[in-house]
Amino acid sequence: MLGTLLNIVTVLLGGGIGALLGSRLPERVRETVLNGLGLVTLVVGVQLTFETHNILIVMGSVLIGGILGEWWRIDAGLERVSEWLRQRVAARMGDRPMGRFTEGFITASLVFCIGPMTILGSIQDGLTGDITLLAIKSLLDGFAALAFASSLGIGVLFSALTILIYQGGLSLLAGLAQSVLTDPMIAEMSATGGVLILAIGLMLLDIKRIRVANLLPALVIAPAVVALLTALGVSLG
């Protein structure tokens, strides 16, 4: 939960500053900071990938996971969920235009909670207590909150409640799964997640737009492969 609490603090801080500054923060400053975070994200992805004991497990998990993700259209599904939530809020507002507070709250909540880094970071925090991914996400969300609040107001700050419930809940569920997962299973899951984090870094740097959400099934496949190989007595070294 430490990573989630850090995320909440950065959103509140960034949102508060954004509400005070308005649109006075130069775009070039935001761009440079995001590029820096993109570079750090690449480094973290490489470090996680090196945790593997057998790169073939990672490769197979990513390939099969990608095929399943494209088949199930996870990325498109997340976008549909996001749009559905927006429409539900708009419908509740009736004929009135969506207020700045409501728009800021909904927009920020969706951006901060629907995405691969939220899932990957929460799982890593819950399983191993490593908050590195959520720390990077926290910085990203902090600057995003600053940008949102500068135009949409203080409703952005209340998205911290959504982060607490959703992201914190994922970390708690991952912690419960720790009793089922062995160290080799966690290592291969982390290494596979590292590949997905590399993809996020490439997107932050505007190098390549990758449908990372469609690769998420790989996080389930990796530990399943390890369990199967262990049952068959196959060494992972």
- The ranges assigned to domains in the chain are 2-231
Over residues 154-193, the pLDDT tens digits come to 888 888 988 999 899 999 998 888 788 888 998 999 899 8
Mean pLDDT (the chain, rounded): 85
Cα(131)–Cα(134) distance, rounded to whole angstroms?
Answer: 5
Q: What is the 3-state secondary structure (H, E, C) of 40-92?
A: HHHHHHHHHHCCCCCHHHHHHHHHHHHHHHHHHCHHHHHHHHHHHHHHHHHHH
* pTM of the model as a whole: 0.79
First to last CA, the chain: 33
| Higher pLDDT, residue 102 or 167 | 167
Identify the residue whose tokens are 């993809």. 199
Helix H or strand E encompassing 113: helix 100-113
Q: Is the per-residue pLDDT at 38 higher than 90?
A: no
Cα(114)–Cα(135) distance, rounded to whole angstroms?
Answer: 17
- Which contacts qualify for 31-39: CB closer than 8 Å, 24 or more apart? 33/143, 34/140, 34/143, 34/204, 35/204, 35/205, 37/136, 37/139, 37/140, 37/204, 38/201, 38/202, 38/203, 38/204, 38/205, 39/201, 39/205
Per-residue confidence (pLDDT) for residue 94, from 0 to 100: 54
Contact between 15 and 157 under an 8 Å Cβ cutoff? The reply is yes
- Residue 178 is which amino acid? Q
| Higher pLDDT, residue 110 or 13 | 13
